[in-house]
Amino acid sequence: MSLASMLKSMFSKPYTSVRPKQADDMVSSGAVLVDVRETHEWQAGHAPKARHIPLSQLGARMRELPGGRPVVTVCRSGNRSAHAARMLAENGHEVANVSGGMRAWAAAGLPVIAKGGRAGAIR
């Protein structure tokens, strides 16, 4: 293996990055949206179809995600969910990470809900 290809494999992302609207379209087409934020962040506001699996629990709960369906990861800004995306991709999932996270999701005008379905906020 050449040095260039070795470096590329070491530093390339095993997942794609998508904008919020692309992520929403993917979820509408059957992808699973996984919100990896902490519980207090999730409770304040999240995407309507998201599943909550905090990053600290992802390794132990990865089996909860269905095989054969793409996974979209999201957090507040996109950093924690990038770690989650890498972890999932390394375990065989097809993964996309939401660039800009839930902040970008809300800024794009996509829905954010809180407990009971009321309007949520991103903290």
Instruction: Let me know how many helices (H) and strands (E) the chain has, helices first.
Output: 6, 5
Query: Which DSSP category does 119 fall into?
Result: B
Q: Please identify every residue annotated as catalytic.
A: 75
Exposed/middle/buried for 58, CB within 10 Å: 0-12, 13-18, 19+? Answer: buried
For residue 118, give both structure tokens.
């009321």
CA dist., res. 60 & res. 57, Å (int): 6
Encoded tokens for 20: 């919020």
